[in-house]
Amino acid sequence: MHPSILLCLYANMSLRYNVDMDGMRDIEQLFKGLADVTRLRILNLLLHGELCVCDIQYVLDSAQPNISRHLMYMKNSGLVLDRREGQRIYYKLVQPTEGARRQLFAYLRASFSEIGEFAQDSRKLKKAIDTGSCTVSEWSPYSALVTAKTPGTSRPLRTHPNAIQSHITSKLS
Protein backbone atom coordinates (compact mmCIF):
# COMPACT_ATOMS: atom_id res chain seq x y z
CA MET A 1 0.00 0.00 0.00
CA HIS A 2 1.10 3.53 -0.69
CA PRO A 3 2.16 5.42 2.52
CA SER A 4 -0.17 8.35 1.86
CA ILE A 5 -3.16 5.98 1.71
CA LEU A 6 -2.21 4.55 5.09
CA LEU A 7 -1.97 8.07 6.45
CA CYS A 8 -5.47 8.85 5.14
CA LEU A 9 -6.86 5.68 6.69
CA TYR A 10 -5.21 6.51 9.99
CA ALA A 11 -6.55 10.07 9.86
CA ASN A 12 -10.10 8.77 9.30
CA MET A 13 -9.82 6.37 12.24
CA SER A 14 -8.51 9.16 14.44
CA LEU A 15 -11.36 11.45 13.43
CA ARG A 16 -13.90 8.73 14.16
CA TYR A 17 -12.32 8.17 17.58
CA ASN A 18 -12.55 11.89 18.42
CA VAL A 19 -16.24 11.97 17.47
CA ASP A 20 -16.90 9.05 19.81
CA MET A 21 -14.99 10.78 22.63
CA ASP A 22 -17.02 13.95 22.05
CA GLY A 23 -20.20 11.90 22.35
CA MET A 24 -18.95 10.38 25.59
CA ARG A 25 -18.15 13.85 26.95
CA ASP A 26 -21.65 15.02 26.04
CA ILE A 27 -23.20 12.11 27.91
CA GLU A 28 -20.88 12.72 30.86
CA GLN A 29 -21.95 16.39 31.00
CA LEU A 30 -25.59 15.41 30.70
CA PHE A 31 -25.39 13.04 33.66
CA LYS A 32 -23.40 15.55 35.72
CA GLY A 33 -26.23 17.98 35.12
CA LEU A 34 -28.71 15.44 36.47
CA ALA A 35 -26.64 14.39 39.48
CA ASP A 36 -28.54 16.41 42.08
CA VAL A 37 -32.08 16.11 43.47
CA THR A 38 -32.74 19.84 43.09
CA ARG A 39 -31.72 19.72 39.42
CA LEU A 40 -33.94 16.68 38.87
CA ARG A 41 -36.85 18.55 40.47
CA ILE A 42 -36.16 21.55 38.20
CA LEU A 43 -36.04 19.27 35.16
CA ASN A 44 -39.38 17.79 36.20
CA LEU A 45 -40.92 21.29 36.27
CA LEU A 46 -39.38 22.28 32.94
CA LEU A 47 -40.95 19.23 31.33
CA HIS A 48 -44.19 21.25 31.58
CA GLY A 49 -42.74 24.09 29.50
CA GLU A 50 -40.74 27.28 29.83
CA LEU A 51 -40.67 28.78 33.34
CA CYS A 52 -39.31 31.87 35.01
CA VAL A 53 -36.74 31.42 37.79
CA CYS A 54 -39.28 32.89 40.25
CA ASP A 55 -41.81 30.16 39.32
CA ILE A 56 -39.27 27.41 39.98
CA GLN A 57 -38.24 29.14 43.21
CA TYR A 58 -41.88 29.27 44.35
CA VAL A 59 -42.56 25.60 43.66
CA LEU A 60 -39.32 24.31 45.19
CA ASP A 61 -39.51 26.76 48.11
CA SER A 62 -35.83 27.57 47.74
CA ALA A 63 -33.75 30.74 47.61
CA GLN A 64 -33.32 32.44 44.22
CA PRO A 65 -29.49 32.23 44.24
CA ASN A 66 -29.70 28.48 44.88
CA ILE A 67 -32.16 27.94 42.00
CA SER A 68 -30.12 30.16 39.66
CA ARG A 69 -26.92 28.28 40.49
CA HIS A 70 -28.57 24.95 39.64
CA LEU A 71 -30.06 26.36 36.44
CA MET A 72 -26.66 27.67 35.37
CA TYR A 73 -25.15 24.23 36.00
CA MET A 74 -27.94 22.67 33.91
CA LYS A 75 -27.33 25.22 31.15
CA ASN A 76 -23.60 24.45 31.13
CA SER A 77 -24.46 20.74 30.95
CA GLY A 78 -26.57 21.29 27.84
CA LEU A 79 -29.91 20.52 29.48
CA VAL A 80 -31.61 23.93 29.36
CA LEU A 81 -31.68 27.16 27.40
CA ASP A 82 -32.42 30.59 28.83
CA ARG A 83 -33.78 33.90 27.60
CA ARG A 84 -34.11 37.27 29.30
CA GLU A 85 -37.27 39.34 29.24
CA GLY A 86 -36.78 42.53 31.22
CA GLN A 87 -35.79 41.56 34.76
CA ARG A 88 -36.96 37.96 34.37
CA ILE A 89 -34.97 35.02 33.05
CA TYR A 90 -36.92 32.13 31.56
CA TYR A 91 -35.61 28.60 31.17
CA LYS A 92 -36.73 25.72 28.97
CA LEU A 93 -35.43 22.28 28.15
CA VAL A 94 -33.17 21.77 25.18
CA GLN A 95 -35.24 19.79 22.69
CA PRO A 96 -33.92 16.24 22.53
CA THR A 97 -33.76 15.32 18.86
CA GLU A 98 -31.27 12.50 19.12
CA GLY A 99 -31.63 8.96 20.41
CA ALA A 100 -29.87 8.83 23.78
CA ARG A 101 -31.03 12.22 25.09
CA ARG A 102 -34.55 11.66 23.80
CA GLN A 103 -34.74 8.24 25.46
CA LEU A 104 -33.32 9.62 28.70
CA PHE A 105 -35.88 12.44 28.85
CA ALA A 106 -38.68 9.97 28.09
CA TYR A 107 -37.48 7.73 30.91
CA LEU A 108 -37.23 10.62 33.37
CA ARG A 109 -40.65 11.90 32.36
CA ALA A 110 -42.26 8.53 33.06
CA SER A 111 -40.27 8.04 36.28
CA PHE A 112 -41.10 11.46 37.71
CA SER A 113 -44.82 10.68 37.66
CA GLU A 114 -44.21 7.63 39.86
CA ILE A 115 -42.14 9.40 42.54
CA GLY A 116 -44.09 11.34 45.15
CA GLU A 117 -41.92 14.46 45.49
CA PHE A 118 -41.82 15.04 41.73
CA ALA A 119 -45.58 14.54 41.35
CA GLN A 120 -46.13 16.90 44.30
CA ASP A 121 -43.95 19.55 42.62
CA SER A 122 -46.00 19.21 39.43
CA ARG A 123 -49.25 19.60 41.37
CA LYS A 124 -47.88 22.69 43.15
CA LEU A 125 -46.89 24.19 39.78
CA LYS A 126 -50.35 23.46 38.38
CA LYS A 127 -51.99 25.09 41.40
CA ALA A 128 -49.71 28.15 41.11
CA ILE A 129 -50.69 28.53 37.46
CA ASP A 130 -54.40 28.06 38.23
CA THR A 131 -54.34 30.69 41.00
CA GLY A 132 -52.25 33.20 39.03
CA SER A 133 -49.22 32.91 41.34
CA CYS A 134 -47.09 31.96 38.37
CA THR A 135 -45.89 33.90 35.33
CA VAL A 136 -47.18 31.07 33.13
CA SER A 137 -50.86 31.55 32.36
CA GLU A 138 -51.84 28.07 31.16
CA TRP A 139 -51.19 24.59 32.56
CA SER A 140 -49.67 22.39 29.83
CA PRO A 141 -48.68 19.08 31.40
CA TYR A 142 -45.53 17.63 29.88
CA SER A 143 -45.74 19.91 26.87
CA ALA A 144 -42.04 20.76 26.66
CA LEU A 145 -41.10 17.63 24.75
CA VAL A 146 -44.29 16.79 22.89
CA THR A 147 -44.44 20.04 20.92
CA ALA A 148 -41.02 19.63 19.30
CA LYS A 149 -40.96 18.60 15.66
CA THR A 150 -39.06 15.60 14.42
CA PRO A 151 -36.18 16.98 12.33
CA GLY A 152 -36.98 17.13 8.62
CA THR A 153 -40.71 16.52 9.12
CA SER A 154 -43.80 18.35 10.30
CA ARG A 155 -44.84 15.64 12.74
CA PRO A 156 -44.46 16.05 16.52
CA LEU A 157 -41.55 14.45 18.30
CA ARG A 158 -42.99 11.81 20.63
CA THR A 159 -40.93 10.91 23.64
CA HIS A 160 -43.13 8.09 24.87
CA PRO A 161 -46.50 6.52 24.10
CA ASN A 162 -49.83 8.32 24.53
CA ALA A 163 -50.86 5.77 27.14
CA ILE A 164 -48.14 7.00 29.48
CA GLN A 165 -49.08 10.61 28.66
CA SER A 166 -52.67 9.92 29.70
CA HIS A 167 -51.50 8.11 32.83
CA ILE A 168 -49.30 11.03 33.87
CA THR A 169 -51.97 13.65 33.14
CA SER A 170 -54.56 11.74 35.18
CA LYS A 171 -52.16 11.53 38.16
CA LEU A 172 -51.71 15.31 38.13
CA SER A 173 -55.38 16.21 37.87
The residues that bridge with 149 in the sheet, in sequence order, are: 156
What is the DSSP pairing of strand 88-93 with strand 80-85? Answer: antiparallel
At residue 164, what are phi and psi to the nearest 5 degrees?
-70, -40
Least confident among 5-9, 17-21, 92-96, 126-130: 5-9
**What is the distance, to the nearest Å, from the Cα of residue 129 to the centroid of all Cα atoms in its chain?**
20
Domain boundaries, the chain: 24-172
Q: Does residue 18 carry a pLDDT above 60?
A: no
Within 8 A by CB and 6+ apart from 80, the residues are 46, 71, 74, 91, 92, 93, 94
What is the pLDDT, as a whole number, of residue 61?
Answer: 92
User: Rounded to an integer, what distance in angstroms lies between the CA atom of residue 54 and that of residue 64?
Assistant: 7
What is the pLDDT, as a whole number, of residue 151?
Answer: 47
Least confident among 92-96, 103-107, 165-169: 165-169
Tally of CA atoms within 13 A in the half-sphere of 90 that contains its CB: 11
> pLDDT over 90 for what percent of the chain?
28
* Interval 21-66: pLDDT, tens: 667 787 788 888 889 999 999 999 998 889 989 889 999 999 999 9
| Other residues' Cβ atoms within 10 Å of the Cβ of residue 39 | 19
Q: Does residue 173 carry a pLDDT above 90?
A: no
DSSP SS3 for 17: helix
CATH code for the part of the protein at 24-172: 1.10.10.10
